Structure 1
Amino acid sequence: MSLLHTDEGARALAEAMGEKDPGSLAAATRLRRSHSPEMAAEALGQAQLRHAARAKFGDLAPSLFFTHDALEQATRPVVSAWRAQRLKAEGITRVVDLGCGIGADSLACLRAGVDVVAVELDETTAQHAAANLSGGTVLHGDAVTLAPELLADAGPETCVFIDPARRTESGRTWKVEAFTPPWDFVLSLLDGPHSTVVKLGPGVPKQLLPEAVEALWVADRNDVVECSLWRTPGARPGHGAVLLDSRFPDLTQGVRVDDAPHEPLPVAPVGRYLLEPHGAVIRAGALDRVDPDAWLLDPQVAYLSTDHPVDTPLATCFEVLEDLDFNPKTLKAWVREHRVGSLEIKKRAIDVDPAELRKKLQPKGPNQATLVLVRTREGARALVVRRLATTSTG
Structure 2
Amino acid sequence: MPYAFTPDDVGFLTSGAGREALGSLVPSGDPLRDVGAARRLVGEERAGALLETALLRARAVGRFPDGWLWTADALEQATALPVAEHRARRLAAVAADRVVADVTCSVGVETAVLSSVLDRVVGADLDPVRLAMARCNVPDARLVRADALAPAVRPGAVLVADPARRTAAGRRVRRPEEMTPPLDALATSQRCGTADAQRQPRRIADTGDLVVSTAPGLDFALTPWAREVELVSLDGRVREAALWSAGLVDRDGPARRATVLRTDGAGYEVTDADDDTCPVREVGTVLVDPDGAVVRAGLVRQYAARHGLGQLDPQLAYLTGDAPPPGIRSFRVVEHGPYTEKALRQTLRRREAGRVEILVRGLDVDPNRLRPRLKLSGPQAATVVLARVGRGARAYLCEPA
What TM-score do the two structures reach when normalised by structure 1?
Answer: 0.87
The AA in structure 2 aligned to 1:19 is P
CA shift at 1:305, angstroms?
2.1
Q: Tell me, in whole angstroms, the C-alpha distance in 2 between the residues paired with 1:174 and 1:366.
A: 44
Q: Tell me, in whole angstroms, the C-alpha distance in 2 between the residues paired with 1:225 and 1:378.
A: 34
Q: Tell me, in whole angstroms, the C-alpha distance in 2 between the residues paired with 1:92 and 1:70.
A: 28
Q: Tell me, in whole angstroms, the C-alpha distance in 2 between the residues paired with 1:114 and 1:362.
A: 63
Do the aligned residues in 1 keep the contact of 2:175 with 2:218 (CA within 8 Å)? no
The answer to whether residue 339 in structure 2 is matched with residue 330 in structure 1 is no
1:197 partner SS? strand
User: Could you tell me which of 219, 229, 240 is aligned with 2:233?
Assistant: 219
The answer to whether residue 380 in structure 2 is matched with residue 367 in structure 1 is yes
The answer to whether residue 175 in structure 2 is matched with residue 171 in structure 1 is no
Q: Tell me, in whole angstroms, the C-alpha distance in 2 between the residues paired with 1:312 and 1:215.
A: 25
Do the aligned residues in 1 keep the contact of 2:254 with 2:273 (CA within 8 Å)? no
Q: Tell me, in whole angstroms, the C-alpha distance in 2 between the residues paired with 1:229 and 1:221.
A: 21
Long gaps (5+) in structure 1: 389-394
The answer to whether residue 26 in structure 2 is matched with residue 48 in structure 1 is no
Structure-2 residue corresponding to 1:258: 271
Q: For the structure 1 residues 211 and 304, does the alpha-carbon distance in structure 2 shift closer, same or farther, using more than 3 Å as the test?
A: farther
Q: Tell me, in whole angstroms, the C-alpha distance in 1 between the residues paired with 2:301 and 2:27.
A: 52
Structure-1 residue corresponding to 2:3: none
Q: Tell me, in whole angstroms, the C-alpha distance in 2 between the residues paired with 1:372 and 1:84.
A: 39
Structure-2 residue corresponding to 1:281: 294
Long gaps (5+) in structure 2: 1-5, 189-202
The AA in structure 1 aligned to 2:137 is N
1:92-131 equivalences under 5 Å are: 92-93=96-97, 94-131=99-136
Q: What is the root-mean-square deviation in Å for CA atoms of aligned residues? A: 2.3
Structure-2 residue corresponding to 1:391: none
Structure-2 residue corresponding to 1:182: 182
CA shift at 1:233, angstroms?
4.0
Q: Tell me, in whole angstroms, the C-alpha distance in 1 between the residues paired with 2:149 and 2:225.
A: 24
The AA in structure 2 aligned to 1:160 is L
What are the Cα deviations for residues 88-143 of structure 1, in whole angstroms up to 9, with x where unaligned?
22242542001112221111112224432111121211111111112102222322
Question: Which range is displaced more, 332-341 or 6-15?
Answer: 6-15
CA shift at 1:182, angstroms?
2.2
Structure-2 residue corresponding to 1:19: 27
Q: For the structure 1 residues 318 and 128, does the alpha-carbon distance in structure 2 shift closer, same or farther, using more than 3 Å as the test?
A: same
Q: Tell me, in whole angstroms, the C-alpha distance in 1 between the residues paired with 2:55 and 2:110.
A: 22
Equivalent pairs, count:
371
Q: Tell me, in whole angstroms, the C-alpha distance in 2 between the residues paired with 1:265 and 1:196.
A: 34
CA shift at 1:176, angstroms?
2.6
The answer to whether residue 368 in structure 2 is matched with residue 355 in structure 1 is yes
Question: Which range is displaced more, 179-188 or 44-53?
Answer: 179-188
Structure-2 residue corresponding to 1:239: 256
Q: Tell me, in whole angstroms, the C-alpha distance in 1 between the residues paired with 2:309 and 2:204.
A: 37
Question: Which range is displaced more, 208-217 or 160-169?
Answer: 208-217
CA shift at 1:259, angstroms?
1.2
1:195-210 equivalences under 5 Å are: 195-210=209-224
CA shift at 1:35, angstroms?
1.5
Structure-2 residue corresponding to 1:392: none
2:207 partner SS? coil
Q: Tell me, in whole angstroms, the C-alpha distance in 2 between the residues paired with 1:166 and 1:30.
A: 35
Q: For the structure 1 residues 65 and 334, does the alpha-carbon distance in structure 2 shift closer, same or farther, using more than 3 Å as the test?
A: same
Do the aligned residues in 1 keep the contact of 2:187 with 2:225 (CA within 8 Å)? no
2:61 partner SS? helix
The AA in structure 1 aligned to 2:316 is V
CA shift at 1:344, angstroms?
1.3
Do the aligned residues in 2 keep the contact of 1:297 with 1:375 (CA within 8 Å)? no
What are the Cα deviations for residues 19-65 of structure 1, in whole angstroms up to 9, with x where unaligned?
333x62122212212413231111101111122223643xx2x3211
Do the aligned residues in 2 keep the contact of 1:290 with 1:312 (CA within 8 Å)? no
Structure-1 residue corresponding to 2:67: 63
What are the Cα deviations for residues 246-282 of structure 1, in whole angstroms up to 9, with x where unaligned?
233xx6xx41110127667543433332221111111
Do the aligned residues in 2 keep the contact of 1:115 with 1:136 (CA within 8 Å)? no
Structure-1 residue corresponding to 2:39: 32
CA shift at 1:170, angstroms?
4.5
Q: Tell me, in whole angstroms, the C-alpha distance in 1 between the residues paired with 2:69 and 2:32.
A: 23
Q: For the structure 1 residues 342 and 190, does the alpha-carbon distance in structure 2 shift closer, same or farther, using more than 3 Å as the test?
A: farther
Structure-2 residue corresponding to 1:133: 138
CA shift at 1:198, angstroms?
0.8
Q: Tell me, in whole angstroms, the C-alpha distance in 2 between the residues paired with 1:348 and 1:229.
A: 28
CA shift at 1:378, angstroms?
4.9
Do the aligned residues in 2 keep the contact of 1:298 with 1:376 (CA within 8 Å)? yes
What TM-score do the two structures reach when normalised by structure 2?
Answer: 0.85
CA shift at 1:384, angstroms?
0.9
Structure-2 residue corresponding to 1:9: 18
